[in-house]
Structure 1
Amino acid sequence: MGLSPAIRRPIADVLAALLTLMAICWALSVPRYLGLGFYPQQFFAAILALVLPIAFLELPARRFSHRTVVPWYDVALALIAFASVSWIAVGYPQFVLQIFAKPAEVWIPGIIITLLTLECLRRATGWTLVLIICAFLLYALFGDLLPGRLQGRAQNWQLLAGYMALDSNGILGLPISVAGTVVVAFILFGTLLGITGGSNFFTDAAMLGMGRFRGGSMKIAVLASGLFGSISGSAVANVVGTGVVTIPMIKRDGYPGHKAAAIEAVASTGGQLMPPVMGASAFLMAEFLAIPYSDIVAAALVPAILYYVALFIQADLDAARMGIRPVPKSEIPARRTVARGLHFILAFAVLIWLLFWKGYQPERAALWSAVVLIATSFAIGYRGSRPALRAIFGSLSRCGHSVVEIILISAASGLVIGVLNVTGLSFNLTYLLVQIGGNNAFILLTLSAIVCIILGMGLPTLGVYVLLAALVAPALIKVGIDPIAAHLYVLYFGMMSMITPPIAIAAFAAASLAKAPAMATGWAAMKFGWVAYIIPLLFVFSPTLLLHGAPWEIALAVTTAVVGVWLVSIGLAGYFAGLLTPGVRVLFGLAGLLALIPSGAFPQAVVTDVIGVACGFALMVWRLMSRKPATAKDTVES
């Protein structure tokens, strides 16, 4: 009783392709050109009406289980979901005016949509985010029973159901508006990169550029995962997508399995912090702060580069310490082969030009870049092949399937935002955090970092950011921290939950691919990703690292930060011109921390920069002058 694969797959593919086409039409303002007028929430409801049935058709009730036939009850739930959301979409102009009257035609579909959205979310991401959202909904119903500052306004359950399903602060609110338009456009761009050979080009370019150097396999993993992760919507998906290639390559070169997995996990997680997509958080951040998307990209660029500089340097030093050889020449692609793929860079150049110089909306810029990508791929191709027209059209359904999880998370995140708005919980939490922090920015930042890591454990990127942007960022802004710095701060520490034990889901996913101990991989990932725990504190106290300030101040801050990252990485790796003693490692680390402090952090910060850089270079010169010939012992892992 149910749908066989022969029936289920075409239906799901058509729904997914229709989802992508609708997002494209909305991004290009096709309804306006056709003279069609309707509420944006009607469009978002139509998107959700496609996503929920796809989820029930594609995702089994038991996660990670395999099924060939979709059972009858999932078919029924898919039809109920489609009918309920379509009912809201069609009748939205009348229903939205009747929310507070609590008619049955509003609250009944509201309950159905809320429950089915949470069930689809559970199938896609697990119980963690679902339980958190359920806790918020229970707070909305019984918040008046809590004591002290956390006491809220209890809501009527019928009113709450209608509000969550119809209001622009609920399921059909800001998160799904970003996911259903901007994210779809960028995921389509990323899907086309895979179909046209662009992903292979970037991997080949990384191998050509780094394969001839020591520890080339690790550096290839860092570059490839960073490039792929910058347009990927999930750290775990990035680990799985690139790790199947990079982790065996690193292990084959003699690296321990847990460290190979840790490097991949850290590199993949960093992709969620690297523009342009940043796990879809960049677009939502721009909407939350009501500033241009280009401002978010500019602010996030230097911290993300420092993240990868630290990882790259540690990979290099570890390779030197362990005697890891370059990648065999036979596996490095020819320059001529890679040069034929340079046309892929043109699509990214168009994307940057449209975003920063022409001021296009992100979704439009991504779509035009996709057109350029298709055109150059048909004209030039890569590795002697060109994409088939059928594959290009197939990218519509592939993109639709790829964004299902992100849209589900976005819709569910709207429930959290809705509860915060109707109960006053957002204000109460802000007040409570500020009160605990005693209006001391450093104490509040430390407390917020802990809260962010705990709340982020087990959650996807977008879910992490929405929760933290609503719960923690307002408290940071309240004590005078720059809004962009506050939002990037919570994003960084929320993402660090991906590699921070005990629930480091990106590290654990990489560990499973490497067949390595999970906890050992998590601790190694924390070491490789150390800079992400430090950089947020620096750009909060000195926005020069966010490119805010005079050009000379920015240049000085970035330069000393790079030197500081280098010095601390030497201390952590324990190698520079030979193995380092514990005392010398500590000296390198201290010099690096002094150099890392941005010049604008406090009045005497320039002095600490000078001391740190001078001491660091002095240590380097001393090590180079006292270097001894390498012995077999030098290549043994300490």
Structure 2
Amino acid sequence: MTTKQYDDQQISEEHIQELAAKYDPEAGFRKLAGPLYWLALIGLISFSLFQLYTAIFGVLPAQIQRTVHLGFALTLIFLLFPASKKQKSAGRKGVPWYDLILAAAATAVGSYWYIFMDDLVMRVGRLTTNDFIIGVIAIVLVLEATRRVVGMPITVIASIFLAYAYLGPYMPGFLEHKGLTIERIVRTMFFTTEGILGTPLAVSATYIFLFLLFGAFLIKTGVGEYFNDLSIVIAGRRIGGPAKVAIFSSALQGTISGSSVANVVTSGAFTIPMMKRLGYKKEFAGAVEAASSTGGQIMPPVMGAAAFLMVEFIGISYWEIAKAAAVPAILYFAGIWIMTHFEAKRIGLRGIEKHEIPDKKEVLKKLYLLIPIVVVVYLLMSGMSITKAALWSIVSAVLVGMLNKETRMGPKQLAETLADGARSALGVAAATAAAGIIVGVVTVTGVGLKLANGLLELSGGYLLPTLILTMIASLVLGMGSPTTANYVITSTIAAPALLMFSVPELSVHMFVFYFGIIADITPPVALAAFAAAGVAGAEPIRTGVISAKLAIAAFIIPYIFVISPQLMLIDTTWWEASWVIFTAFIGMIAIGAAMIGYWMRKLNIWERAVALAAGMLLIYPEGIWSYIGLGVFAAMLAFQYYLLDKDKWSRGASASV
């Protein structure tokens, strides 16, 4: 059995893989052998080469680009992903006959538009029998592939929306509509760009695939491991060092990872044992990693690939999205950092021993490994197209890898990386195709507006109750869905209600995105927290509850940036922005102290209540309230110093007696 050792703890690679497969369906692929292995490998490499070719020489017509992308993904999913967990656990290396048939059908679906493009355009939506059959097969394959590689939640939601499209006349109240025929549903789903072939799949077939491939090249060049070493050097010696290493490492890992669960099981494999060894309770250790790893999805530049979907959905530049997301994301991680610091102070934890820290000089010598990250941020900020920025970033990763003999790529390593990148894109392709079904039904039935009106009616037309209801809807819709599909679903179903108020569109989209992502650590379906509990050997629900507590910033900040968009640097000056950022950071200190129950000393219930109120006032970036919060914060700080000095004097007096 192969193992990775961190300090005096050992976690087997097999256990890590089991946890990943249990909580992240994308990790449960077959280990093929023989001709099928080579078939799948060639398919994966061809998928990456197709995407690179169209990125370099120009994207094909929309229907062809998207269906070929979808055909590759569906075919490979049926070859690589078994139909049930029982088959996964059996470890079968072959592919059942029915999956070979499904893979062949997927290939036919993927090539249909390419072969019959002229005829389909000339018919302008009139379906032949063959068209109808292919359309039905496409819908069924998308749902089944999504179930296998993404999971049941989004599959069920997409299926419910398909049923709703047909059963419209039988729906109660405001949900009623005239209903769509089966033929129209099939036509919308596969023969227009409003359904499966809609915007979500378009972004998967262009931007997202390239950035996932970029992530695969970064991992191959050792950037992932370097993030861990750099985090230990920066934060390891501090109070509660292992927890701060987890936070810092997960923030960095989030720039290359598109999955909270994947982030947990990779970085958590060494951070969680360190935290446990130095005295953190196992539930708290798992919660720190889960909250931090989930935060990686809201951290620019990639934001779990959702940033690129926002570009298409909102119609603004990538730079505007990244700039707006930066401060809330930093505040999120600052909140976790502050709470782990206070927890470490409360229970008297130290940092990592000096001899356990990697050599600082050696780590800093490898700073060049961060060049690809710098390149992608610079290119995206400079206004270069997302596709070209991704291409040059991949080139920079390959060149950086050549600087180190251990990571220098030969033909074999290059082929493996191309295959890994394509494999990581399969779940996204399936999820965005399924999300396209939801978007298509919303578009043709108008249910989005109806749901928005329903939410407004329930909230009485007031913003705050509408925000609360939208938050609940986003948390429910986000449960068990990957980042890209999560954002598509929440922005399509939950966001329209908020757009009826005078709120910036970007603030609304970020609001639903945040709460969709936080579903990963919000019980009862908290996949990232449950995965972290598996690594830590902790109780899952309790780990999820503590994770949500550590992520308190993610439950507060979205309300603030909807009410006051200055927090997202929207329509504000640099002076106003600096003040907002300063008061928000101070506010997070007070909120962190209130949540943990410790500042410079243990806080009683009333002190915690006052600290929480001061923090909320400071985060709310509106004139007089920030000044009041700052005054309360200063008074609390002075009171802490006074009581601390009083305690020291009392202990000194007792000792002298």
TM over 0.5: yes
When residues 630 and 511 of structure 1 are mapped into structure 2, their CA distance, relative to the original with a 3 A threshold, is: farther
Matches within 5 A, 1:11-90: 11-28=39-56, 30-31=57-58, 38-63=60-85, 64-65=88-89, 66-90=91-115
The alpha carbon displacement at 1:576 in A equals 2.2
Partner residue, 2:403: 379
Separation in 1, partners of 2:378, 2:480: 36
Contact persistence 1:3–1:71 (CA under 8 A): no
Partner residue, 2:8: none
Q: Structure 1 residue 468 and structure 2 residue 490: aligned?
A: yes
Q: Structure 1 residue 563 and structure 2 residue 586: aligned?
A: yes
The alpha carbon displacement at 1:379 in A equals 2.4
Matches within 5 A, 1:122-521: 122-357=147-382, 359-380=383-404, 386-521=408-543
Separation in 1, partners of 2:470, 2:396: 43
The alpha carbon displacement at 1:592 in A equals 1.4
> CA offsets, 1:585-612, max 9 Å, x none?
222222212211112xxx6434434434
SS at match of 2:525: coil
The alpha carbon displacement at 1:432 in A equals 1.8
Separation in 2, partners of 1:501, 1:304: 22
Separation in 2, partners of 1:465, 1:31: 27
The alpha carbon displacement at 1:162 in A equals 2.4
Separation in 2, partners of 1:406, 1:128: 15
Higher mean C-alpha displacement, 85-94 vs 236-245 = 85-94
Higher mean C-alpha displacement, 5-14 vs 208-217 = 5-14
Separation in 1, partners of 2:446, 2:384: 36
Contact persistence 2:150–2:430 (CA under 8 A): no
When residues 387 and 209 of structure 1 are mapped into structure 2, their CA distance, relative to the original with a 3 A threshold, is: farther
The alpha carbon displacement at 1:97 in A equals 4.9
Partner residue, 1:586: 609
The alpha carbon displacement at 1:490 in A equals 0.3
Give the residue type in structure 1 aligned to 2:284: K
The alpha carbon displacement at 1:194 in A equals 1.1
When residues 515 and 244 of structure 1 are mapped into structure 2, their CA distance, relative to the original with a 3 A threshold, is: same
Contact persistence 2:618–2:626 (CA under 8 A): no
> CA offsets, 1:245-304, max 9 Å, x none?
221221122211111111111001101111111111111011100111111111111000
When residues 499 and 590 of structure 1 are mapped into structure 2, their CA distance, relative to the original with a 3 A threshold, is: same
When residues 203 and 107 of structure 1 are mapped into structure 2, their CA distance, relative to the original with a 3 A threshold, is: same
Partner residue, 1:35: none
Higher mean C-alpha displacement, 549-558 vs 98-107 = 98-107
> CA offsets, 1:181-206, max 9 Å, x none?
21111112211111111111111010
The alpha carbon displacement at 1:494 in A equals 1.1
Kindly report the root-mean-square deviation, in angstroms, between the aligned alpha carbons of the 2 structures: 2.0
The alpha carbon displacement at 1:328 in A equals 2.4
Separation in 2, partners of 1:190, 1:629: 56
Give the residue type in structure 1 aligned to 2:541: M
> CA offsets, 1:59-96, max 9 Å, x none?
11103433221111111110111112212332234325
Separation in 2, partners of 1:176, 1:416: 12
Give the residue type in structure 1 aligned to 2:329: A
Contact persistence 2:618–2:625 (CA under 8 A): no
Partner residue, 2:575: 552
SS at match of 1:101: coil
SS at match of 2:167: helix
When residues 237 and 342 of structure 1 are mapped into structure 2, their CA distance, relative to the original with a 3 A threshold, is: same
> CA offsets, 1:510-533, max 9 Å, x none?
111111111110111111111100
Contact persistence 2:228–2:267 (CA under 8 A): no
Listed as ranges, the gaps of 5+ residues in structure 2 are 1-29, 652-657
Separation in 2, partners of 1:100, 1:178: 24
Contact persistence 2:498–2:508 (CA under 8 A): yes
Q: Structure 1 residue 530 and structure 2 residue 552: aligned?
A: yes
> CA offsets, 1:377-422, max 9 Å, x none?
21246xx664445313321111000110011000111101111111
Contact persistence 1:175–1:413 (CA under 8 A): yes
Give the residue type in structure 2 aligned to 1:39: P
When residues 260 and 388 of structure 1 are mapped into structure 2, their CA distance, relative to the original with a 3 A threshold, is: farther
The alpha carbon displacement at 1:99 in A equals 5.9
When residues 493 and 343 of structure 1 are mapped into structure 2, their CA distance, relative to the original with a 3 A threshold, is: same
The normalised TM-score by structure 1 is: 0.93
Separation in 2, partners of 1:597, 1:619: 23
Q: Structure 1 residue 574 and structure 2 residue 597: aligned?
A: yes
Contact persistence 1:56–1:78 (CA under 8 A): yes
When residues 142 and 326 of structure 1 are mapped into structure 2, their CA distance, relative to the original with a 3 A threshold, is: same
Contact persistence 1:318–1:575 (CA under 8 A): yes
Give the residue type in structure 2 aligned to 1:238: N
Separation in 1, partners of 2:555, 2:374: 32
Give the residue type in structure 1 aligned to 2:492: A
Listed as ranges, the gaps of 5+ residues in structure 1 are 33-37, 632-638
Report the number of matched residues: 618
When residues 507 and 97 of structure 1 are mapped into structure 2, their CA distance, relative to the original with a 3 A threshold, is: farther
The alpha carbon displacement at 1:223 in A equals 0.9
The alpha carbon displacement at 1:448 in A equals 0.7
Q: Structure 1 residue 9 and structure 2 residue 31: aligned?
A: no
> CA offsets, 1:443-499, max 9 Å, x none?
111111111111212222222211110111121011111100000000111112111
Separation in 1, partners of 2:287, 2:528: 9
When residues 370 and 629 of structure 1 are mapped into structure 2, their CA distance, relative to the original with a 3 A threshold, is: farther
Partner residue, 1:605: 625
Give the residue type in structure 2 aligned to 1:472: A
Contact persistence 2:474–2:512 (CA under 8 A): yes
Give the residue type in structure 1 aligned to 2:117: Y
Contact persistence 1:53–1:77 (CA under 8 A): yes
